[in-house]
C-alpha cells in the first residue's frame, strides 16, 4: 500500500493508496471534475468513498468554489435521504470529500436496467427524492443539478440525494443569473440566462427525472440541443410508453414554462401520486375498456396464416418488441392487457412507426386499423 506524500497526485494508477487514515483500493466512478474512490477507514473499518478533485493554479478558483459549495451544503443538511459527509480535507493540489458509500449505485443505472420503474417503485423512490429536496428547500438550499445520475441508492435501495457541487444557498426573493445543471434537465429560464429563482428550476429538473422514471426514457423526443431547446421552450414532452394518468398530471404541473406556475416542492409532496395505494398505467385498465381489449385480441387472433404471423412478428422484433403474445390464451384477460402493451409499444419509435403501421394494416383485418387510429394515437 502506498502512503501518499503531500505532493503526490492520487489517481487510479497508484492504487491502493492511503491518506489521512483512509485506504482507497478501487476507482468506482467519475463525477464532474472529480474521481470517486472506494476505501476503508483504517481506524474503524467502515467503508466510505472519497470524492477527489485535482486542481491546478489556473482553475483553482472555479474548482474550489464547487468543492466549497458541496461541503458547505452537506454540513448544513442532516436527512436520511441526503448523502452524508464524514470528512473533508485537501492535500497538495487535491481536494477530498469522504462520503457515505451507496452500494446500490444510481437511479440512472436502475432505470436503464429496468427500462423504467414499476408504479410501486416509482412512488417509493419519487417520494424519497421529494422529501430530500423539500428538506433542502426549507433551508433555502437549491440543488441545481437534479438528475438520475445524482440520485444514489443505498444497500436497501433507498434514495440518497447527492452531488451538491452546484448547490446554492439562496436568499428569499433574490433572483440569480448563475447557471447550473445538465442541459437535458435545465428549465428555460436557466438556459436563456434570465434572472431567476433556482427553486422552480429544481422542480422542472425533478419533473424530467420523474418522466424518465415512469417511462424509461427522456421526455424530449429530439436529436440535438437545438431541438431540445425548442421543445423545452414549449414544454412539449412525450412518452414512449403509457404512464399512469396521475403521474402524467404531476409531471405536467412540474414541467411548465412559467416558473411561477410550477408546483412548489411542498405541493409535489402533497400530490395524490404520493398518497395513492395503487397506480394504473394510462391506456390500459382505466382508459382501455374490455370491449376494446376484445376487439384488439380478435384482430390478432384472426391473423392465423403462418406467413402473416411471421411477418408481423418480425416487424415487432425489428423495433425491439417481443412477439410472444401470439402464444397467449384467448381467455387470459391479463395476458390480453400485456398484448396491448406490447403492440402499442412499437409505435413509440418515431423513425419506424409509420412504416410498421402501414405494413401491419396491410396484413391485419380492418378492425386492427381502427384500434391503431383511435387508441394508440392517444399515447403518441
Least reliable range by pLDDT among 47-56, 126-135, 147-156, 196-205? 47-56
C-alpha cell at 301: 387472433
Beta strands 151-153 and 2-3 are: unpaired
pLDDT band at 269 (very low <50, low <70, confident <90, very high): very high
**Which tens digit of pLDDT belongs to each residue from 242-252?**
999 999 999 99
Give the highest mean pLDDT range of 15-29, 161-175, 327-341.
161-175
Q: What is the DSSP string of 98-167?
A: EEE--TT-BHHHHHHHHTS--HHHHHHHHHHHHHHHHHHHHTTEE-----GGGEEE-TTS-EEE---TT-
pLDDT band at 259 (very low <50, low <70, confident <90, very high): very high
Cα dist from 316 to 267, 291, 338, whole Å: 41, 24, 14
Contacts (Cβ under 8 Å, ≥6 apart) of 361: 368, 369, 372
Range 211-228 average pLDDT: 94
pLDDT for 17: 86
What pTM did the predictor assign?
0.71
C-alpha cell at 37: 474512490
pLDDT for 30: 87
Range 88-108 average pLDDT: 94
Cα dist from 167 to 96, 161, 177, 181, 242, whole Å: 18, 12, 14, 10, 34
C-alpha cell at 5: 506524500
Q: Which of 68, 78, 109, 145 is catalytic?
A: 145
Contacts (Cβ under 8 Å, ≥6 apart) of 12: 27, 35
pLDDT for 327: 36
Q: What is the DSSP string of 276-336?
A: -S---BTTTTTTS-HHHHHHHHHHHHT--SHHHHHHHHHHHHHTT---GGGG--TT-HHHH
Q: What is the rounded distance in angstroms from the CA atom of residue 265 to the CA atom of residue 263?
A: 6
C-alpha cell at 3: 502512503
145 is catalytic: yes
pLDDT for 166: 94
pLDDT at 124 over 80: yes
pLDDT for 1: 54
Check: CB of residue 279 under 8 Å from CB of residue 285.
no
Check: CB of residue 293 under 8 Å from CB of residue 300.
no
Range 318-344 average pLDDT: 39
DSSP 17: E
pLDDT for 308: 57
Q: What is the rounded distance in angstroms from the CA atom of residue 145 to the CA atom of residue 109?
A: 17
Question: What's the N-to-C CA distance of the chain in angstroms?
Answer: 57
pLDDT for 278: 61
DSSP 241: S
Least reliable range by pLDDT among 6-20, 108-122, 277-291, 307-321? 277-291
pLDDT at 334 over 80: no
pLDDT for 11: 67
pLDDT at 368 over 90: no
Contacts (Cβ under 8 Å, ≥6 apart) of 102: 49, 83, 152, 153, 154, 160, 162
Domains of the chain: 2-100 (3.30.200.20), 107-274 (1.10.510.10), 290-379 (no CATH)
pLDDT band at 276 (very low <50, low <70, confident <90, very high): confident
| pLDDT mean across residues, the chain | 79
pLDDT for 292: 40
Give the highest mean pLDDT range of 9-18, 84-93, 206-215, 355-364.
206-215
Q: What is the rounded distance in angstroms from the CA atom of residue 246 to the CA atom of residue 262?
A: 16
Q: What is the rounded distance in angstroms from the CA atom of residue 324 to the CA atom of residue 309?
A: 11
C-alpha cell at 311: 411477418
Amino acid at each position: 500500500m502506498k502512503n501518499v506524500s503531500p505532493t503526490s497526485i492520487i489517481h487510479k494508477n497508484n492504487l491502493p493508496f492511503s491518506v489521512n487514515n483512509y485506504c482507497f483500493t478501487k476507482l468506482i466512478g467519475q463525477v464532474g471534475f472529480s474521481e470517486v474512490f472506494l476505501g476503508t477507514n483504517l481506524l474503524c473499518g467502515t467503508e466510505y468513498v472519497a470524492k477527489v478533485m485535482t486542481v491546478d493554479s489556473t482553475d483553482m478558483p472555479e474548482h474550489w468554489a464547487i468543492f466549497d459549495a458541496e461541503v458547505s451544503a452537506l454540513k448544513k443538511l442532516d436527512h436520511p435521504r441526503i448523502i452524508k459527509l464524514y470528512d473533508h480535507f485537501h492535500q497538495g493540489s487535491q481536494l477530498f470529500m469522504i462520503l457515505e458509500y451507496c452500494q446500490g449505485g444510481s437511479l440512472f443505472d436502475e432505470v436503464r436496467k429496468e427500462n423504467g420503474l414499476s408504479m410501486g417503485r416509482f412512488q417509493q423512490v419519487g417520494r424519497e427524492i421529494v422529501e430530500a429536496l423539500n428538506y433542502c428547500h426549507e433551508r433555502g438550499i437549491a440543488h441545481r443539478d437534479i438528475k438520475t445520475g445524482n440520485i444514489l441508492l443505498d444497500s436497501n435501495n433507498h434514495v440518497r440525494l447527492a452531488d451538491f457541487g452546484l448547490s446554492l444557498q439562496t436568499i428569499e426573493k433574490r433572483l440569480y443569473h448563475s447557471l447550473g445543471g445538465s442541459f437535458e434537465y435545465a428549465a428555460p429560464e436557466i438556459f436563456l440566462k434570465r434572472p431567476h429563482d433556482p427553486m422552480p428550476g429544481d422542480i422542472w429538473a425533478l419533473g424530467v427525472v420523474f418522466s424518465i422514471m415512469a417511462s424509461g426514457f427522456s421526455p424530449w423526443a429530439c436529436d440535438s440541443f437545438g431541438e431540445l431547446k425548442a421543445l423545452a421552450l414549449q414544454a412539449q414532452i412525450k412518452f414512449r410508453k403509457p404512464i399512469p394518468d396521475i403521474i402524467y398530471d404531476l409531471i405536467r404541473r412540474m414541467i411548465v414554462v412559467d416558473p411561477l406556475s410550477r408546483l412548489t416542492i411542498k405541493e409535489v409532496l402533497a400530490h395524490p401520486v404520493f398518497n395513492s395505494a395503487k397506480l394504473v398505467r394510462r391506456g390500459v385498465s382505466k382508459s382501455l375498456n374490455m370491449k376494446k381489449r376484445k376487439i384488439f385480441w380478435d384482430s390478432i387472433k384472426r391473423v392465423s396464416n403462418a406467413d402473416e404471423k411471421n411477418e408481423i412478428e418480425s416487424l415487432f422484433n425489428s423495433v425491439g418488441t417481443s412477439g410472444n403474445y401470439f402464444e397467449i390464451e384467448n381467455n387470459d384477460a391479463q395476458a390480453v392487457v400485456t398484448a396491448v402493451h406490447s403492440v402499442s409499444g412499437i409505435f413509440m419509435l418515431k423513425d419506424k412507426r409509420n412504416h410498421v403501421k402501414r405494413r401491419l394494416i396491410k396484413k391485419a383485418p380492418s378492425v386492427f386499423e381502427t384500434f391503431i387510429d383511435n387508441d394508440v394515437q392517444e399515447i403518441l
